[in-house]
Structure 1
Amino acid sequence: MTQEYAANQPQGFKNYIENVAIVGVSGNVGKFITEELLRTGKHKVTAITREDSTNILPSGVIVAKVDYNNQSSLVDALRGQDALVITMSVMAPPGQQNRLIEAAATAGVPWVLPNEFGGDPFNKEISKDIFIGEPKAKCRDYIEELGKSSWIAIACGFWYEFSLGGGPDRYGFDFNKHTVTLMDGGNIKICTSTWPQCGRAVAKVLSLKVLPDTEGDNSPVLVNYKNGCVYISSFTINQNDMLDSVLRVTGMKLSDFKVTHTTAKEHYQSGLQLFQKGNMHGFGRLLYARCFFPESNGNFAASKDLHNDILGLPTEDLDEFTKIGIQMSEKGSY
């Protein structure tokens, strides 16, 4: 494909993202994305919310109430938007993301960040084993099929503080019972990111120029990630690193924890069996356990170049977010 330049575009071309619509502004990661977009001072942020929503939104956010059963209301809400960011639970109603993708195409939204906040979307082995990979791939393919928008996925791994404090089926810790389950000795490293870092990443990406200004412009641009993935990681660590951080933060000793050992594959199989019986805790267990398989895991930094430096993302303090994860566990806010 021939490289395009901003200097060669027709009059009226805008070489930046100004108007950003977000689905899930009040959600776990959505609120951090919104805060960071507003902080740049470069974006007008519109919250796409249901008509009956009572969520209190940040000051400066434009509200567009929609009816997901009325496609025209979605299209109207997205007209004039330069980008659509979709954040929603994996338990969201089937087809909801596709309706948004269709509306974005009809409204002429050039960029869509689909619900892709997780592992490497191009790791086919993991994507198949965790069941949600294929539906996500179909959404990306659908955007391309419609031919009106381009997509960008954000690979960030699991959210660190949410996963650490969310119980034994995630990163293995139960802070109420003082137990930890280590898979394969706790030695398998994975990529994991904090909510604030994910928010910064999205804001940084959408603050890039769309195209290089001229042929000599080598600065990072949005088109470099067209129909591709941005890879970020706050920490590339293993369970033992997490445990060491927990001990530092709490002042506890290893002997204060009951440590259980298993393998990631055994843990995955036990989660799969629960899930097949309709127990959603099993889905969480298999989802996380699959990330720790020795031969194919969630350490995409081992095979892909992270974009942290290109985007100017800061280095974070592991212990700071370990403390937040423990506090979330104590409050039950996960």
Structure 2
Amino acid sequence: MDRLQNIAIAGASGNIGKVVVKELLASGFNVTALQRPSSSATFPPGVKVKKVIYDSFDSWRVALEGEDAVISFLVPPATDYQNLAADAAIISKVKRFIPSEWGMDTTILGDTLFGTLLSDKTKTQAHLARLSEQNGFFSWTGISTGLWFDWGLENLSLGFDIRNKIAEIADSGNERFQTSNLSFVARVVVEVLGNPDQTADRYITIASFNISQREILALVEDISGEKWTLSPYRVDEAQKIAEKALERGDFENAFFPLLHGRLLRDGAALALQPGDNFATDVLEILEESPADAIKAWLSQAK
């Protein structure tokens, strides 16, 4: 299959979407932002904007006419509309659908808590697989990135509070986890669209690197020359509090403790193993240095 040139993106103004849009434009792709009618988000020059009513099949169908690929950066509850978008993509002869994954590997969640919370994503995977079997021109690619590293440092999601020099360490802090910088993810997306046969009907796992919280802390202190205060906590205890928040419908305060409970707890064993990093092993994108991202983060805080 030739390079997929015309790319439609749902969620193009989000944290990861805007980084991918920038990389696609720089790589010569034609980019269309699929935007809710009520949205006032703006986009870089060269991005075409089409309004889409997410619960309308006809709206998706019209918006996807002439597009080669759809990338979804939608977040819950909007991910519920991905199957509708995929059905419309078939009618509009779209060749590739990249659903909203961009985090933990959802193919191994099973009957865990996150298996329930993210069931809409696994249902979409199954739906896309069926559509691919039924339509020879159509395929899909799922991309697991692990935690977002540079974004996570800036937004406290990795447990590092730069303002107060406090590191919240889960259990021992020695558990290594899969993580990617947003620009690294964007380069992977460009390669997937530029060489679509490599990833047709596949779920791939990628990472800038594996790292632990203790390793991050050591780099932070070495680069900054400052000692940080440790605030250790037990994952199991944080989980109980988060689950109660979830029962109250407080998803915002429950999400990161639950996420850390899956990925950072001692013995989680979810770091990518040798041969599992599609970005470095197949696409030959070089693994990145965590020190570079940490230096950039520390310099921005000065």
Report the counterpart of residue 320 of structure 1 in structure 2: 292
Report the counterpart of residue 143 of structure 1 in structure 2: 128
Q: What residue identity is the alignment partner of 1:61? A: V
Report the counterpart of residue 23 of structure 1 in structure 2: 10
Report the counterpart of residue 238 of structure 1 in structure 2: 212
Q: 1:69 Cα shift?
A: 4.1
Q: Which runs of 5+ in 1 are unaligned?
A: 1-13, 209-221
CA contact (8 A) 1:84 1:113 kept: yes
Q: 1:104 to 1:15 in 2, by over 3 A?
A: same
Report the counterpart of residue 156 of structure 1 in structure 2: 145
Report the counterpart of residue 185 of structure 2 in structure 1: 198
Q: What residue identity is the alignment partner of 1:244? A: A
Q: What residue identity is the alignment partner of 1:235? A: F
Q: 1:35 Cα shift?
A: 1.6
Q: 1:190 Cα shift?
A: 0.5
Report the counterpart of residue 278 of structure 1 in structure 2: 249
Q: 1:321 to 1:97 in 2, by over 3 A?
A: same
Deviations 1:127-169 (A, max 9, x none): 73324332211011112233343221111101112222323xx
Q: What residue identity is the alignment partner of 2:184? A: Q
Q: Structure 1 stretches (4+) deviating beyond 6 angstroms?
A: none
- How large is the Cα RMSD of the aligned pairs? 2.4
Deviation larger for 105-114 or 194-203 = 105-114
In structure 2, C-alpha distance between the alignment counterparts of 1:323 and 1:275, rounded to whole Å: 35
Which of 125, 128, 135 pairs up with 2:112?
128
In structure 1, C-alpha distance between the alignment counterparts of 2:117 and 2:249, rounded to whole Å: 16
Q: What residue identity is the alignment partner of 1:197? A: F
CA contact (8 A) 2:79 2:121 kept: no
Which of 88, 101, 104 pairs up with 1:116?
101
Report the counterpart of residue 7 of structure 1 in structure 2: none
Report the counterpart of residue 71 of structure 2 in structure 1: 85
Q: 1:116 to 1:35 in 2, by over 3 A?
A: same
Q: 1:324 Cα shift?
A: 4.5
CA contact (8 A) 1:101 1:143 kept: yes
Q: 1:269 Cα shift?
A: 2.9
Q: What residue identity is the alignment partner of 1:293? A: R
Report the counterpart of residue 301 of structure 1 in structure 2: 273
TM-score, normalization by structure 2: 0.88
1:107 has 2:78 as partner: no
CA contact (8 A) 1:163 1:325 kept: no
Report the counterpart of residue 267 of structure 1 in structure 2: 238
Secondary structure of 1:311's counterpart equals coil
Greater gyration radius: 1
TM-score, normalization by structure 1: 0.80
Q: 1:180 Cα shift?
A: 1.7
In structure 1, C-alpha distance between the alignment counterparts of 2:273 and 2:163, rounded to whole Å: 32
Report the counterpart of residue 222 of structure 2 in structure 1: 248
Deviation larger for 243-252 or 25-34 = 243-252
Secondary structure of 2:278's counterpart equals coil
Deviations 1:163-187 (A, max 9, x none): 22323xx322223333222223111
Secondary structure of 1:48's counterpart equals strand
Deviations 1:267-300 (A, max 9, x none): 3333223222333212221112211233334313
In structure 2, C-alpha distance between the alignment counterparts of 1:315 and 1:289, rounded to whole Å: 26
